[in-house]
């Protein structure tokens, strides 16, 4: 074989096609699989895709506490004199809505105290497991204090809301948040069915506070009855929504 | 232009298309094999669960979920710790997966849990002397069983059970079909080429294409960190899914390595046969 011929054969033995064709095949394979499988697996793939996020999920059971008391002693008044003082301080304050840091779901954004019932615990936004394990929670579909809506708060009857069994009209409920302090007065208590949709009106334009827990208290078992405490807004900071 | 080179070129194109289909079949075979030995394999699920400490994590999660129930039901906080143990969770999960793969059930059987909690509750009420109406206790048992079965089961897999079983049943036939077709194409390429180095060249194209396809998928999974950013309700399930997807990824890397080795080997066989053929033709 001549040198020229041998060279030609060597060139043939490792030509461009050995690189180009596998790449073309690879593109072709994914094109064929995409066209063939998209109708069947497209919805499944998009459903699986929706499960993914940009960051790893945080499974810790800790919660974010954004609560910084406005004035340490205003809502924790122990004497009538101090209560009056609290009312005076809270009723006169106005807060721009832009200055209010609205809590995220699961945040502790305040605390609640009912001195006559021995209730004193952290207040969360949302009534999920972590919130109710560590305090009481504002139902996510209701309002939060100061926004002029119904504030619906849930808690367990064997832990933080056990004291509600002593609730009676006229008692005062103090709520402290990072943007201001609020006082509500118990209007009435009632036992209702858990599915009774007339037990609360979340669309009301007037601010009120409703606390609820399972009923009866101090008994073993689960029940479909709920104990409601209805309280009227008495005083608190005024959120100026006009600046919105 | 002479007649011979044209027919030769047509033959090259036809064999090229056949080797593309062979490449597609190789890729489908490796994908099916990986899915069959992982997603559709009960033992792979169990192995992954054992590897990532699933049962221990799941027992803790069930206890934590049930602990929330104690706050609402008047029981002491650690009441359910004595009711739920790892053996119970493991057995119920095994039966659940077994039933799912057999197509007999898509729900966790909470009978053993229900019996255990009923006995434990009776003892607790007698011991503490607390008030408890039969109706409320019955509701508590019902809720606890619901919490237990919901926590032990995998969310969403019940909905795809029909497709899962259909895929599991179809897989052996799919694999058999791919093997038959691939063997047919291999035979055609081998016997229709007088010079065997040419057949080796087409085999090389097919395996190299399959190597790139597997490599792309394995690389994609690795670069995207498997399922690390998946949002699942329970940490135990998250750990299981991440471990499982990692094992799928490893399988794809193994396939990639095998196809790479095969294609390199075929390339060298081709070269050897090519030089032999050119020697023969020159003499």
Q: What is the pLDDT of residue B27?
A: 96
Give residue B54's pLDDT band: very low, low, confident or very high (50, 70, 90): very high
pTM score, whole prediction: 0.79
Cβ contact, residue pair A18, B267, below 8 Å = yes
Specify the range with the lowest mean pLDDT, choosing from A18-22, A51-55, B136-140, B168-172.
A51-55
Return the residue of B nearest to A128 by Cα.
Answer: B68
User: Would you call the peptide bond into B46 cis, given omega within 30 degrees of 0 as the criterion?
Assistant: no
For chain B, what percent of residues have pLDDT higher than 90? 63
Degrees to nearest 5, angle at CA A233 with A228 and A239: 130
Residue A77 and residue A85: Cα distance in Å, rounded?
8
Contact B57, B239 (CB under 8 A): yes
Cβ contact, residue pair B238, A57, below 8 Å = yes
With beta carbons under 8 A apart, name residues in chain A contacting B270. 13
Q: How far is A181 from chain B (nearest CA, A)?
A: 28
**Three-state helix/strand/coil letters over chain B:** CCHHHHHHHHHHHHHHHHHHHHHHHHHHHHHHHHHHHCCCCHHHHHHHHHHCCHHHHHHHHHHHHHHHHHHHHCCCCCHHHHCCCHHHHHHHHHHHHHHHHHCCCCCCCCHHHHHHHHHHHHHHHHHHCCCCCHHHHHHHHHHHHHHHHHHHCCCCCCCCHHHHHHHHHHHHHHHHHHHHHHHHHHHHHHHCCCCHHHHHHHHHHHHHHHHHHHHHHHHHHHHCCCCCCECCCCHHHHHHHHHHHHHHHHHHHHHHHHHHHHHHHHHHHHHHHHHHHHHHHHC
Query: Quick check: A33 contacting B, CB < 8 Å?
Result: yes
Q: From the candidates B18, B30, B73, which should be mutated to test the interface with A, based on the most A CB atoms within 10 A?
A: B73
Cβ contact, residue pair A221, B65, below 8 Å = no
The pLDDT of residue A80 is above 90: no
With beta carbons under 8 A apart, name residues in chain A contacting B23. 22, 25, 28-29
Q: How far is B239 from chain A (nearest CA, A)?
A: 11
Specify the range with the lowest mean pLDDT, choosing from A49-58, A144-153, A180-189, B170-179.
A49-58
The pLDDT of residue A142 is above 70: yes
Provide mean pLDDT across the span B116-132: 88
User: Burial of B175 by CB count in 10 Å (0-12 exposed, 13-18 middle, 19+ buried)?
Assistant: middle
Cβ contact, residue pair A29, B137, below 8 Å = no
Closest partner residue to B23 (CB to CB) among A25, A56, A156 is A25
Cβ contact, residue pair A156, B72, below 8 Å = yes
Specify the range with the lowest mean pLDDT, choosing from A19-33, A44-58, A227-241, B209-223.
A44-58
CA B255 to chain centre: 15
Whether CATH 2.40.260.10 fits A80-243 = yes
Q: What is the pLDDT of residue A84?
A: 52
Domain boundaries, chain A: 3-49, 80-243
Query: Quick check: A203 contacting B, CB < 8 Å?
Result: no
Strand pairing class (A119-125; A136-138): parallel
Q: What is the pLDDT of residue A243?
A: 56
Specify the range with the lowest mean pLDDT, choosing from A14-23, A171-180, B10-19.
A14-23
Give the three-class secondary structure for A60.
coil
Query: Quick check: A3 contacting B, CB < 8 Å?
Result: no
The tokens of B273 are what? 């046969």
pLDDT tens for A97-109 read 888 888 999 999 9
Give residue A7's pLDDT band: very low, low, confident or very high (50, 70, 90): very low
Q: How far is A70 from chain B (nearest CA, A)?
A: 31
Cβ contact, residue pair B230, A51, below 8 Å = yes
CB atoms within 10 A of CB B68: 17
């Amino acid at each position: 074989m001549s040198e020229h011929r041998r060279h030609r054969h060597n060139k043939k033995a490792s030509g461009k096609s050995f690189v180009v064709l596998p790449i073309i095949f690879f593109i072709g394979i994914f094109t064929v699989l995409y066209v063939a499988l998209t109708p069947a697996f497209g919805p499944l793939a998009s459903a699986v895709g929706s499960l993914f996020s940009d960051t790893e999920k945080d499974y810790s059971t800790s919660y974010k506490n954004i609560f910084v008391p406005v004035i340490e002693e205003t809502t924790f008044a122990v004497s009538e004199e101090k209560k009056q003082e609290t009312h005076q301080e809270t009723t006169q304050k106005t807060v721009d809505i832009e200055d209010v840091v609205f809590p995220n779901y699961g945040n502790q954004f305040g605390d609640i105290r009912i001195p006559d019932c021995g209730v004193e615990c952290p207040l969360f936004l949302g009534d999920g497991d972590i919130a109710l394990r560590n305090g009481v929670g504002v139902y996510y579909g209701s309002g939060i204090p100061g926004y002029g809506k119904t504030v619906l708060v849930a808690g367990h009857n064997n832990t933080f809301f056990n004291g509600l069994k002593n609730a009676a009209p006229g008692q005062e409920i103090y709520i402290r948040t990072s943007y201001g302090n609020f006082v509500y007065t118990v209007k009435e208590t009632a036992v209702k069915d858990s599915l009774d949709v007339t037990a609360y009106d979340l669309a009301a334009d007037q601010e009120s506070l409703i606390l609820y827990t399972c009923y009866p208290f101090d008994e073993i078992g689960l029940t479909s009855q709920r104990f409601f405490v209805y309280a009227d807004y008495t005083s608190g900071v005024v959120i100026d929504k006009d600046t919105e | 232009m002479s007649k011979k080179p044209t027919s030769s070129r047509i033959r090259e194109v036809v064999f090229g298309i056949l080797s593309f289909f062979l490449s597609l079949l190789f890729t489908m075979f490796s994908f099916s094999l990986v899915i069959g030995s992982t997603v559709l394999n009960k033992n792979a699920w169990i192995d992954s669960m054992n590897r990532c400490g699933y049962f221990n994590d799941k027992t803790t999660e069930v206890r934590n979920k049930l602990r929330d129930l104690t706050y609402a039901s008047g029981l002491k906080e650690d009441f359910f710790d004595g009711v739920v143990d790892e053996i119970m969770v493991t057995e119920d999960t095994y039966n659940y997966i077994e039933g799912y793969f057999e197509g007999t059930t898509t729900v966790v059987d909470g009978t053993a849990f229900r019996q255990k909690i009923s006995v434990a509750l009776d003892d607790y009420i007698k011991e503490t002397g607390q008030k408890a109406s039969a109706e409320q206790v019955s509701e508590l048992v019902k809720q606890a069983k619901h919490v237990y079965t919901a926590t032990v089961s995998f969310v969403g897999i019940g909905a795809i059970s029909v497709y899962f079983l259909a895929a599991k049943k179809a897989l052996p036939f799919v694999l058999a079909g791919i093997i038959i077709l691939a063997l047919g194409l291999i035979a055609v390429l081998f016997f229709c080429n007088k010079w065997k180095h040419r057949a080796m060249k087409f085999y090389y194209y097919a395996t190299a294409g399959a190597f790139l396809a597997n490599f792309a998928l394995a690389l994609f999974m690795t670069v995207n960190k498997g399922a690390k950013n998946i949002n699942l309700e329970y940490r135990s399930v998250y750990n299981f899914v991440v471990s499982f997807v990692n094992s799928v990824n490893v399988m794809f890397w193994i396939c990639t390595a095998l196809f790479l080795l095969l294609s390199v080997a075929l390339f060298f066989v081709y070269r050897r046969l090519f030089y032999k053929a050119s020697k023969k033709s020159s003499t």
